[in-house]
Amino acid sequence: MRAFVSPACDDLDREVAVPPEVRRVVSLVPSLTEAVAVTAPGLLVGATDWCTHPADLSVVRVGGTKNPRVQAVLELQPDLVVANDEENRQADLDLLAQAGVALWVTAPRSVLGAVSSLERMLGACGLSRPSWLAQAAQIWQEPPPPERRTAVVPIWRRPWMAVGRDTFTGDVLRRLGIDNVLETSPERYPRIELPALPPHELVVLPDEPYPFAPGDGPEAFPGVPTALVSGRHLTWYGPSLLAARPLLLRQLDV
């Protein structure tokens, strides 16, 4: 480990007064939980109920990403709390900041942006760039397949919502030869009307945040090929990046 010079700036360009030595971290984001736990086992003392990786993670659970128990986080006396600007609610982050907690917020919008974000977040935890992150950066600089397809990427139904502009997920797909037809949407996660969708050659259905499955999702898009894919590998930016590219290429081959 190495000491991190404080203060440092997170992805929102906020100065964060990180302690000279970080020994206790609480993560409010599944992908950040996995990144910290794989890099430095034992550093995490708390995580959300949705933090499923690593599978053997044994820490105090502090509620969901959208409804963490702020008091439970504070009782863990963390040196640093790591969060994300779209997965966590601003009201909860404000309460933590008001309580004097060092709060590091990530906000990657691309794959290589996520690599940089993770390196700086781990640096705030007092950790050097891990080998898994260097390998992930190399994997994701490989060229995309020569043939490109257009797709819509629903993330919810009732109401229907999809991936729009300027997202990490959109960049993942772009690097796999898939162009999101809603990339020019004014919203990052717009509500959609299925009959009004632009022409597309593929529907990409991840199993999170909405659990799309063979009997729940594809039937809404008759006549269009659908690819059921791993939501973790499509939307998480942590050690899952190592396996994501070859796995998603196989799942998108429909």
Whole-angstrom distance, CA of residue 130 vs CA of residue 141: 18
Whole-angstrom distance, CA of residue 208 vs CA of residue 178: 19
Per-position DSSP letters for 163-203, written without gaps between them: --SS-HHHHHHHTTTEEETTTT-SSSS-B--GGGPPP-SEE
Kindly report, residue by residue over 68-114, the tens digit of the pLDDT. Answer: 999 999 999 999 999 999 999 999 999 999 999 999 999 999 999 99
What count of Cα atoms within 13 Å lies in the side-chain half-sphere of residue 182? Answer: 26
154-156 and 161-162: which strand pairing? antiparallel
Bridge partners of 82, per DSSP, are: 27, 104
Bridge partners of 60, per DSSP, are: 46
- pLDDT category, 6, cuts 50, 70, 90? low
Q: Is 209 left (phi over 0), alpha (psi -120 to 50) or beta?
A: alpha
Kindly report, residue by residue over 141-189, the tens digit of the pLDDT. Answer: 999 999 999 999 999 999 999 999 999 999 999 999 999 999 999 999 9
89-119: string of b/e by CB count within 10 Å (b at 16+)?
A: eeebbebbbeeebbbbbbbbbbbebbbebbb
Residues of the chain with CATH 3.40.50.1980: 8-138, 149-251
The helix (H) or strand (E) run that includes residue 45 is: strand 44-47
Is the CA virtual torsion 30, 35, 36, 41 positive or negative? Answer: positive
CATH 3.40.50.620 fits 8-138, yes or no: no
Whole-angstrom distance, CA of residue 67 vs CA of residue 60: 15
CATH topology of domain 149-251: Rossmann fold (3.40.50)
Residue 8 tokens read as 């440092």
Q: What percent of the chain has pLDDT over 90?
A: 96
Question: What pTM was computed for the model?
Answer: 0.92
Q: What is the mean pLDDT of residues 51-64?
A: 96
Give the list of residues 6+ apart from residue 90 with CB closer than 8 angstroms, or none: none
pLDDT, residue 254, reads 80
